[in-house]
Amino acid sequence: MGKPTGFIEYLRELPLDRSAVERIKDWNEFHLHMEDSKLREQAARCMDCGIPFCHSGTLISGMASGCPINNLIPEWNDLVYRGLWREALDRLHKTNNFPEFTGRVCPAPCEGSCVLGINAPPVTIKNIECTIIDRGWEEGWVVAKRPERRTGKKVAIVGSGPAGLSAAAQLNQAGHAVTVFERADRPGGLLMYGIPNPKLDKKAVVLRRLDLMAKEGVIFQTNMDIGKNYPADKLLREFDAIILCTGATKPRDLPVEGRNLKGIHFAMEFLQANTQSILNGGQNGSFINAAGKDVIVIGGGDTGTDCVGTSMRHQCRSLVQIEILPKPPEERAGNNPWPEWPKVYRLDYGQEEAAAVFGNDPRIYLTTVKKFIGDAAGHVREALTVQIEWKKNERGQFVPNEVPGTEKTIPAQLVLLAMGFLGPEQPLLEQLAVERDARSNAKAEFENYHTNVKGVFAAGDCRRGQSLVVWAFNEGRGAARECDRYLMGSTTLP
């Protein structure tokens, strides 16, 4: 696709980001766009590879390989190269309801499985995707499209995160009356409160799409905690079908001595309160402030990075990020071949900002916290850490073991736990009598999504466990398809 020799002629280039020391002074997005001519050169690198693994959407070694929503990547790369932006947007929307979200926050497994990436830097797929949709909004090509007819069927979607929004968009276009219930004060779920504004602007990007969905007929009900201030059985009585998209919001804790000291918080407490304060113009006054504090972030991944980036914008005094796993290699290891997701060392935006201010990557690897130590007022003062090594136990499982003599005390007045999530919260599933699997997730078969309760479906992280935003989009679309089939006897939804 694109220019036949483009992958030979052009090197991989990405647009510049705003400098780390400048962007930590505000809450604006830090990615910049590339000029058209440069972007078309990048699209020209798509190499007519014959079998485009980039849109395969499979799991290899437990990690995503290729695009989980099967974006038609070679097609819109070719269209961008030829300057056919409107047609590229049409191709993009065939598989993706919200490319402005994935183009900003998806880790791009498509690039990890790009055929060019076997022996050269892969095509800049994510940046091209983001530019296509941003141009679509700028040109006025993205407009509200209300369905031509209504079916008379009512669907309730519990949760307005990625899975819930994609299910709502699809079912609304099928003609059903869709109501999305959200327990927070604003819709968007993870997209609103789990991802900081510098990565995904709430007003300019998230609310813009939510407003469009409302114009298309989707009803959003906020401050609705189903099972608490809205009875679960009322959903069963008043709606023809229900899709559960509540996410995996039960955080993994760290049950060590001193855990109950003040100043130790789950990451989402920190991130949500911060974004609420920004959206409220700084008026709520209740966010957890890292200003002037020694901060420890425990856990890696995107959530840990977001805690780092947010703490840097608060102007913390110091920052350490603790990871229990070893430092990844600079290049693919022999047991991590293409087209698997490349598990290599990366300096993400938060770590880049910390390094710019403090002089080095804040992460320390193969380390865990043994206990927290408090002051006379019951507030955390420092953490006692120890290095670990991974060894097999008697059952052949790798487990962490402390390395004697490696204990170290690190100052901390704020500790943020970003160690992942254990699954969905259980009360709603219990009230609806939905069966759970061995990991406490709602039990529903992939690509079927129907739970044991008639007319009740489950999709996204509450079904599959903590995963990527793009997998949630995949499941939301799939659940919408099966829900439509259940309601109408057949479906034309993709």
Q: Where in the chain are all domains bearing CATH 3.50.50.60? A: 154-249+422-488, 253-419
Q: With helix as H, strand as E and coil as C, how does 112-166 read?
A: HCCHHHHCCCCCCHHHHHHHHHHHHHHHCCCCCCCCCCCCCCEEEEECCCHHHHH
The confidence score (pLDDT) of residue 41 equals 96
Predicted pLDDT of residue 62: 86
User: Could you tell me if 354 and 319 are in contact, meaning their C-beta atoms sit under 8 angstroms apart?
Assistant: yes
Distance CA 376, CA 26 (A): 35
Block residue for tokens 């510098």: 198
Name the residue with tokens 């309160």: 273
Q: What are the φ and ψ backbone dihedral angles of 295, each rounded to 5 degrees? A: -110, 135
Q: Which two tokens stand for residue 89?
A: 């947007």
What is the CA 364 to chain-centroid distance, rounded? Answer: 24
CA distances from 244 to 167, 186, 360, 425 (A): 10, 18, 43, 12
Indicate if the alpha-carbon torsion angle 438, 439, 442, 445 is positive or negative: negative
CA–CA distances in Å: residue 353 to residues 191, 309, 432: 22, 7, 45
Of the candidate CATH numbers 3.50.50.60, 3.90.1150.10, 3.30.43.10, 3.40.50.300, the domain formed by 154-249+422-488 belongs to 3.50.50.60
Q: What is the pLDDT of residue 162?
A: 97
DSSP state of 379: B
Residues 6+ apart with CB under 8 A from 387: 366, 367, 402, 403, 406
Contacts of 179 (CB under 8 A, 6+ apart): 154, 155, 156, 157, 218, 219, 220, 221, 239
Domain 6-139 - what CATH class?
A: mainly alpha
Decide: 110 and 124 in contact? Cβ < 8 Å.
Answer: no
Rounded to two decimals, the pTM is: 0.94
The identity of residue 402, as a single letter, is E
* Residue 53 DSSP one-character state: G
pLDDT in tens, the chain (494 residues): 678 899 999 999 999 999 999 999 999 999 988 999 999 999 999 988 888 999 998 999 888 899 999 999 999 999 999 999 999 999 999 999 999 999 999 999 999 999 999 999 999 999 999 999 999 999 999 999 999 999 999 999 999 999 999 999 999 999 999 999 999 999 999 999 999 999 999 999 999 999 999 999 999 999 999 999 999 999 999 999 999 999 999 999 999 999 999 999 999 999 999 999 999 987 556 799 999 999 999 998 999 999 999 999 999 999 999 999 999 999 999 999 999 999 999 999 999 999 999 999 999 999 999 999 999 999 999 999 999 999 999 988 999 999 999 999 999 999 999 999 999 999 999 999 999 999 999 999 999 999 999 999 999 999 999 999 999 999 999 999 999 999 999 999 99
pLDDT at 1: 60
Amino acid of residue 100: E
Confirm or reject CATH 3.50.50.60 for domain 253-419, answering yes or no.
yes
Question: What is the SS3 assignment for 491?
Answer: coil
What pLDDT score was predicted for residue 283?
56
- Separation CA 356–CA 374 (nearest Å): 30
User: What residues pair up with 390 in beta bridges, in sequence order?
Assistant: 400
Domain with CATH 1.10.1060.10 in the chain: 6-139
Pair of tokens at residue 35: 């000029």
